[in-house]
Amino acid sequence: MISPAVAKRIEIWPIDRLVPYSKNPRTHSDEQVPAIAERAAALEWRTVPRFPSYAVSESGDVRRAVAFRQYRAGMLLKQKAHPYGHRSVALSVNGKRREVYVHRLVAHAFLGPAPSEAHQIAHNDGNPKNNHWRNLRWATASENALDKRRHGTVPDRKGERHPMARLSGAPKLYRSRLYVPVSSHEEVSPASAKYECCTFRGSVVALDAESGKQIWKTHTIPDPPRPTKKNPAGVQMHGPAGAAVWLSPAIDVKRNALYIGTGNAYSDPETGYSDAVIAMDLDTGSVKWVRQLTGGDGWNFSCISPNKANCPASLGEDVDIGASPILKDLPGNRSVLLIGQKSAVVYALDPDQQGRILWQTRIGKGGAMGGIVWGMGADEQRVYVPLSDIRERDNAGGLFAIRIASGERAWYAPPVTPACAGKPGCSKAQLAPPTVIPGVVFSGSMDGTLRAHDATDGAVIWEFNTLRDFETVNGVKARGGSLNATGPVIAGGMMFLNSGYGILGGMAGNVLLAFAAE
């Protein structure tokens, strides 16, 4: 009999604990396999919570408890092996077939309900094939992770092991593969003369979306860093390093390619891979072509520190390519790859000609916090480019529309004088990527205002100032701030906007806003 506590737990057993079902599961008959039947008779069996038509043994065998159609009571279910050793069986759930992990069935039947929703099932000996109830226990996620590390059974799903590595750009999912761009914060550490600068290289990691298994990994700089010289403090320096990938990759189905832009170099020597556009093969990660847009752009935080001990000799202006490439089709079966850079230059590259530059258009001065920072938007005719140039003050901000076919300016929407002028962090600079829907371009500003522009002439047709307090649905005190790093998301007739960006001189905030058309 199932206790009331277990029965209650069964009712709220999360459906995400089920794994995808494989069609036509095979079963074993006790009559057909006498040896299995004899062994089964010696085991303790219990009805499976949540699945009363099945029973599970103390060692993890699963059989039908009641007859159903062609399946007779007592038939043992064949277990499916998963890549990391876990076993599952196909059960009927409300008339539908689902695969359920065996260790979960054993734990719920013999150990009782989990102490909390967050608890997991740990194998005491580290063997996921051993599902005897005495080998299982409920554990927290951290306890389970420690077990796996102690047993050496944790799957290696860490795409980059450099301690300064970070994920900045959104991964892209295509045909069951997840393409993950890897950036870093290592350019901050060299501000200390005691830091051994620098060893990080940007990369893209392709993962199997179902298992997390790494399929390939390609560094943006092919050669690993090596010792170069010692800095004035006597600390060993390394290179080449840098070329982080801050952006989300662009997928080119026609050419079976992935496109990324890279950031500045952190240390010498120059490689030709920093501030560059790189095309990679989707299947293998092999590099198809590289087009460097700015050479000699070595930079790290040592370059603005008093000691400058780790500043590279190839000192540049820190003009990363941080905006995701945009692939658009042109008449005549041609394509163009649109690139925005912190140099304040927009490029059009030919993906069929090794990234040959078709045109380039400058929209501002550019620099470390200038130019095009986080992204652009486009429709079929124009690419829409927000300008940062935040250090230029009077000349900061503005939205440019550029004709994709020629690189000519279609229109320019000058920035609006901020209502918050004089407040720390307030600026008319536009670092956030725009969002484009038919006929309208949404662009946010560091002054906290989101504006909607007519796509044909740039006229402001709607605006909303987020720099204020908000009552929230969850009762948390909230206030808007600068709009930076992300643009609004539009889906299902709604628009969602994050307001607040307190780093790098912006105004902090903590609110997610949802808008609906009137």
Q: What is the pLDDT of residue 476?
A: 95
Q: What is the pLDDT of residue 155?
A: 57
Q: What is the pLDDT of residue 42?
A: 75
Judged by average pLDDT, the poorest of 106-115, 190-199, 374-383 is 106-115
Judged by average pLDDT, the poorest of 153-157, 243-247, 273-277 is 153-157
* Chain position carrying tokens 């009641």: 66
Residue type, 401: A
Comma-separated ranges of CATH 3.90.75.20 domains in the chain? 4-151
- The mean pLDDT value for 419-443 works out to 96
Tell me how far CA of residue 137 lies from CA of 47, 130, 131, 392, in angstroms: 19, 12, 10, 61
Report the Cα 158 to chain-centroid distance in Å: 13
Cβ–Cβ < 8 Å for 218, 290: no
pLDDT reading at 35 higher than 70: no
The CATH number of 4-151 is which of 3.20.20.70, 3.40.50.1100, 3.90.75.20, 3.10.20.600?
3.90.75.20
Q: What is the pLDDT of residue 2?
A: 33
Confidence category of residue 16, pLDDT binned at 50, 70, 90: very low
Q: What is the pLDDT of residue 277?
A: 98
Comma-separated ranges of CATH 2.40.10.480 domains in the chain? 158-322
What is this structure's pTM? 0.72
pLDDT reading at 153 higher than 70: no
φ and ψ at residue 201, rounded to 5 degrees: -125, 135
Q: What is the pLDDT of residue 154?
A: 61
Cβ–Cβ < 8 Å for 90, 79: no
Cα 235-237-243 angle, rounded to 5 deg: 145
User: SS3 for 206?
Assistant: strand
Confidence category of residue 402, pLDDT binned at 50, 70, 90: very high
* Chain position carrying tokens 């408890």: 65
pLDDT in tens, 454-469: 999 999 999 999 999 9
Confidence category of residue 25, pLDDT binned at 50, 70, 90: very low
Q: Which two tokens stand for residue 269?
A: 């020597």
Confidence category of residue 157, pLDDT binned at 50, 70, 90: low
What is the Cα–Cα distance from 401 to 395, expressed in whole angstroms? 17
- The mean pLDDT value for 47-60 works out to 86
More confident residue, 1 or 496: 496
Cβ–Cβ < 8 Å for 142, 120: no
CATH dotted code for 158-322:
2.40.10.480
Q: What is the pLDDT of residue 301?
A: 96
112 conformational bin, left if phi > 0, alpha if psi -120 to 50, beta if neither: left
Q: What is the pLDDT of residue 274?
A: 97
What does pLDDT average to over the chain?
88
Number of C-alpha atoms within 13 angstroms, CB side, residue 453? 27
Confidence category of residue 341, pLDDT binned at 50, 70, 90: very high
Q: What is the pLDDT of residue 257?
A: 98
More confident residue, 36 or 247: 247
pLDDT reading at 73 higher than 70: yes
pLDDT in tens, 196-240: 999 999 999 999 988 888 999 999 999 999 999 999 999 999 999
* Torsion angle in degrees (nearest 10) through CA of 106, 107, 110, 116: -160
Confidence category of residue 20, pLDDT binned at 50, 70, 90: very low
pLDDT reading at 403 higher than 70: yes
- The mean pLDDT value for 445-449 works out to 97
Q: What is the pLDDT of residue 156?
A: 56
Q: What is the pLDDT of residue 117?
A: 80
pLDDT reading at 23 higher than 70: no
